[in-house]
Amino acid sequence: MITIRLGQRGTITIPKEIRELYHLEEGDRLTLEAGDGEVILRPIPFNLLDLRGSVPVPDEQDFTAIREQVLKEQAERAARDEG
């Protein structure tokens, strides 16, 4: 068990060994859950927007056209599922 101290203005420091174990870095987001006499911190998994720009593409992308295509395909899929 690791013991930490609540700091000024309610801050805590997550010990290095825990940060390394869970690959936590400055700026990472965590959830705080409270209940049944416990406080639980959980890392928030990254989302696709975190990966934006990580894959090089040969040309500029038309995101409006991509979004329209995705919305069209989702509407078609929803129509098929309802029918």
Can you give the pLDDT of all 83 residues of the chain as single tens digits? 889 999 999 999 999 999 999 999 998 889 999 999 999 999 988 777 777 777 888 888 888 999 999 999 999 999 988 76
pTM of the model: 0.51
Report domain extents, the chain. Answer: 8-43, 56-82
CATH 2.10.260 fits 8-43, yes or no: yes
DSSP state at residue 63 = H
Q: Compute the distance between CA of residue 21 and CA of residue 19 in angstroms, rounded to an integer.
A: 6
Q: Are 32 and 39 in contact (CB under 8 A)?
A: yes
Q: Are 52 and 41 in contact (CB under 8 A)?
A: no
Q: 31: part of which helix (H) or strand (E)?
A: strand 30-35
In this prediction, residue 7 carries a pLDDT of 94
Q: Are 4 and 15 in contact (CB under 8 A)?
A: yes
In this prediction, residue 74 carries a pLDDT of 93
In this prediction, residue 83 carries a pLDDT of 66
